[in-house]
């Protein structure tokens, strides 16, 4: 399918780059800093017309000093806007936000949307603040004014993974392979998404729209079980509706890094074609693999077009020739 739109595509500056050495990270660094070379060539080769770019993980959410996070957010967003201006028909932007300071984050999002033309924001699923061993989640009361701004602006927020803090990852001891994007990313992000739901956030702001990658970070598989147990167990669940209802009304899923029929058709059955969008997760995943799978997975062509393109144009207000 030509004309696809991709939504979980990454970029970086030196200050947000992973510091590990080796050929893998060296190559990732080159691709993350590239806007018009290999990136556009790969998009052309695999039928991707437009991509929205967001900072790599953990990026701003790993900056301990709130003032430094505010400064870095503004500088990186301005840099991204400059790069987008060179190829505006191919690239769009997600704002990076200093979630260490909810008031500043709201102000920066408003600036990015109103002045820079960004399509929304991409934030990692928790932020650190002041001390390294801190994990601050966005369902806390201090973020209510931030969410009010997101709702007022009417733009989606992409909730992106980051690794659990080492001090809180004892369950992975002796199994380092689990403490990686292969497992930990999805678990950590699903926890934040469920916290947002259970907090009653979407009862307060029913128009809020959140995007989850990787076909919903495994939540679609468990939706029925969560609903069923919340109706039985003697535990407090503050939200007014079932988890599955919020997932179908306030969340959108992308195919980033999940190029397999079984997971895709599970998510499709759980939330419907109107709630799923194509993505790659470039450069951590290859556009060739994402496009080859999506273009051939069993799907009515009308639904392929919705998931590959028109759901995104509607949600993000993208106008393509």
For the four alpha carbons of 108, 111, 114 and 119, in that order, the dihedral sign comes to negative
Q: Six-digit token pair at 32?
A: 């993350």
Cβ atoms of 315 and 50 closer than 8 Å = no
Is 65 in the active site? no
CA–CA gap between residue 168 and residue 75 (Å, rounded):
31
Active-site residue among 78, 101, 133, 281? Answer: 281
Q: Distance between CA 203 and CA 201 in Å, rounded? A: 5
Q: Which run of H or of E encompasses 54? A: strand 48-55
Calpha distance 77→59 (Å, rounded): 12
The C-alpha atoms of residue 217 and residue 302 are separated, in whole angstroms, by 25
- CB of 27 closer than 8 Å to CB of 5: no
How many DSSP H helices and E strands does the chain contain? Answer: 14, 10
Catalytic (active-site) positions: 281
């Amino acid at each position: 399918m030509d004309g696809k739109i991709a939504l979980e595509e990454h970029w970086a500056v030196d200050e947000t780059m992973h510091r590990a050495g080796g050929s893998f990270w060296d190559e990732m660094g080159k691709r993350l800093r590239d806007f018009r070379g290999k990136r556009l060539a790969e998009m052309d080769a695999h039928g991707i017309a437009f991509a929205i770019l967001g900072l790599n993980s953990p990026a701003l959410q790993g900056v301990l000093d709130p003032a430094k996070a505010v400064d870095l957010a503004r500088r990186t967003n301005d840099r991204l806007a400059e790069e987008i201006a060179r190829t505006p028909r191919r690239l769009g932007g997600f704002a990076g936000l200093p979630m260490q300071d909810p008031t500043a984050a709201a102000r920066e999002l408003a600036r990015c949307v109103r002045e820079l033309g960004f399509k929304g924001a991409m934030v990692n699923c928790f932020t650190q603040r002041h001390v390294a061993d801190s994990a601050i989640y966005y369902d806390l009361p201090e973020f209510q004014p931030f969410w009010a701004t997101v709702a007022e602006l009417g733009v989606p927020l992409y909730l992106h993974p980051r690794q659990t803090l080492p001090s809180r990852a004892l369950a992975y001891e002796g199994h380092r392979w689990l403490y990686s994007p292969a497992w930990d990313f999805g678990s950590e992000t699903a926890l934040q998404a469920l916290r947002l739901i259970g907090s009653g956030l979407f009862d307060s702001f029913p128009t809020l729209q959140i995007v989850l990658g990787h076909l919903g970070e495994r939540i679609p598989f468990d939706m029925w079980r969560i609903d069923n147990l919340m109706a039985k167990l003697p535990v407090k669940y503050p939200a007014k509706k079932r988890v599955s209802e919020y997932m179908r009304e306030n969340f959108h899923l992308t195919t980033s890094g999940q190029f397999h029929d079984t997971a895709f058709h599970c998510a499709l059955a759980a939330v419907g074609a109107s709630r799923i969008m194509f993505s790659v997760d470039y450069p951590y995943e290859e556009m060739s693999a994402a496009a080859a799978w999506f273009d051939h997975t069993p799907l009515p062509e009308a639904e392929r077009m919705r998931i590959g393109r028109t759901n995104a144009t509607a949600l993000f207000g993208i106008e393509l020739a």
